[in-house]
A and B are shown apart, each in its own frame.
Chain A
Amino acid sequence: MTPKAIHATEVKSLYEKHGSALAAYGCCCGLDFASAQDVVQQVFLKLLEGRASPLDSPAAYLHRAVRNAAFNLRRHSRREAEMPEDTWLVGGDASREEALAVQAALHDLPEEQRETVFLKVWAGMTLQEIASVLEVPMNTVASRYRYALEQLRERLQPVAGRW
Chain B
Amino acid sequence: MQQEKHDEEIERYLSKFQPRAIRPLDIPRRNGNPQLRWLAAVAVLAFAGYVALSHRPRETSQSTGVLASPAMGEVLPGDFRRSKPISTSALTELALDDVKAFDAVLNDESRSMFPNMRQEQSALRVLAKP
Contact = CB atoms under 8 A, between A and B. Distances in A.
Interface of A: 8, 11-12, 15, 19-25, 33, 37, 40-41, 44-45, 48, 87-94, 99, 102, 117, 120-122, 146, 149, 152-153, 156, 160, 162-163
Q: Is the interface of B mostly helix, strand, loop or mixed?
A: mixed
Interface residues on B, range: 20 to 34
Nearest to B10: A153
A41 B28 CA distance: 11
Contact of A94 (B7, B16, B21, B22): B16
Contacts of B21: 20
B84 interface: no
A64 B9 CA distance: 28
A25 B9 CA distance: 22
Contacts of B7: 146, 149
B50 to A, nearest CB: 37
B25 A15 contact: yes
Contacts of B20: 20, 23-24, 33, 87-90
Contact of B27 (A8, A22, A99, A160): A8
A99 B17 contact: yes
